[in-house]
Amino acid sequence: MFFELTEEQQAVQQAARDFAQNILKPSVIERDRDMKYPKDEIRQMGEMGFLGMMVDPAYGGGGMDTMSYVLAMEEISKVDASCSVIMSVNNSLVCWGIEKFGTEEQKAKYLPKLATGEWIGAFCLSEPEAGSDATSQRTTAVDMGDHYLLNGTKNWITNGGTSSVHLVMAQTHPEKAHKGINCLIVETNWEGVVIGAKEDKLGIRASDTHTIMYNDVKVPKSNRIGEDGFGFKFAMQTLEGGRIGIAAQALGIAGGAYELSLAYSKERAAFGKPISQHQAIAFKLADMATDIEAAKLLVYRAAWLKDQGMDFGPASAMAKLFASEAAMKHTVEAVQVHGGYGYVKEYHVERLMRDAKITQIYEGTSEVQRIVISRNVLKNGQLYIPIWGNGVGTEV
């Protein structure tokens, strides 16, 4: 069992850390306050290769492993979770989905622009009545011969107003239930694509979340991903990878809150000594450090399994569940460590607390992760299927 990062992974981690601390941090409070989309920052992230990290260099990407992507996500999330969700959706839902399941024509047309950040992508699965219950798609894609006619409404779409490409899940054969769903690549400048209201959110306020309407949008058949009816499996398999990205985001948010709390607790004195010297605070730091290390192992393992080409679905669900719960719990504790200062924006931890909440909700709520994990455990009769190294399970 090896825990070292490669030199390349360390270089990516350092570059992301420098970018987050030097470029993102000085303006993050203002972006959060004003719900200001980080246009320049996202452009720079594209130039640095953070928006298509795992895409094959033949299509303009960085050709990196999932582990490098996770490390970059973690560092950027320590400072600005709005930037990291834009990055995560583009990398692991949109680019990865097209690269893994798209045709050569689709990859050649869309990946070079998406991987460099010239275009940003969005993943359009959720609907007013299809959040966790994702099979209940009401958006329709009627087969018109050479094209589909797309109609419906999607909700809570990250990158909704700033994306050039949407991956839209829609029902073509209602009689086949989830087996009738297709995923269509839709360009947002096509007639009938209407960008609805921007959401005013609790956290990740600088990211751009919208309702989207599709009104008689003509989508060429050549823009369907996979076989007819593959859309639901496409969404589920793509989300397995996406959840590693959100797990890394939660890990970063928790790590950012921990680093700020550790530093503050050494500076702030009460009752004649730094508050870190009071057991009440020292134990909070101990619990934060322990949970963050545990989350790190789960998140890195999920990334490693994916890089090995092994089954990573249950591992990504576990990583997201644990990391997001830890992020919520410990950002609340970080505010407590900071006392009154923690309650004001200048000290960053109240924003991290607000940002943490969404990691328990999007890309599958904590309850959905428990569905995925429990079904797997019950089906396989194993505590966990592939463990480090050889993929052999551990019997309960």
Please state the closest distance from residue 73 (CB atom) to ligand CAA, in A: 13
How far apart CA 387 and CA 367 sit, in angstroms, is 23
Q: Is residue 374 involved in binding ligand CAA (CB under 6 A)?
A: no
Exposure b/e, 210-227, CB count within 10 A at least 16 = b:
bbbbbeebebeeebbbbe
Query: Which residues are identified as catalytic?
Result: 363
Taking CB under 6 A as the rule, does residue 97 contact ligand CAA? no
Pick the binder of ligand CAA from 16, 111, 134, 250 (CB under 6 A): 134
Is 321 a residue that touches ligand CAA (CB under 6 A)? no
Q: How far apart are CA 185 and CA 168, in angstroms?
A: 6
CB of 8 to ligand CAA, least distance (A): 27
Beta bridge partners of 141: 150
- Write out the binding residues for ligand CAA, residues 262-291 only, by CB under 6 A: none
For residues 153 and 168, the answer to whether their CB atoms sit within 8 Å is no
Please give the angle made by the CA atoms of 349, 283 and 344, to the nearest 5 degrees: 20
- Sign (positive/negative) of CA torsion 353, 359, 365, 368? negative
Q: What is the size of the binding site for ligand CAA (CB under 6 A)?
A: 23
* Residue 233 binds ligand CAA, judged by CB under 6 A: yes
For 36-45, b/e burial (b = at least 16 CB within 10 A) is ebbeebbebb
Restricted to residues 148-177, the positions that interact with ligand CAA (CB under 6 A) are 158
CB of 255 to ligand CAA, least distance (A): 20
**Please, what is the minimum distance in Å from the beta carbon of residue 123 to ligand CAA?**
5
Q: CA of 291: how far to CAs of 149, 252, 287, 354, in Å?
A: 48, 12, 6, 19
Q: How far apart (Å, rounded) are the C-alpha atoms in residues 71 and 300?
A: 9
x-marked contacts with ligand CAA along 175-204 as a string, rule CB under 6 A: ---x--------------------------
Q: Which of 65, 75, 240, 333 binds ligand CAA (CB under 6 A)?
A: 240
Residues that bind ligand CAA (CB under 6 A): 85, 89, 123, 125-126, 132, 134-135, 158, 178, 232-233, 236-237, 239-240, 313, 362-364, 368, 371-372
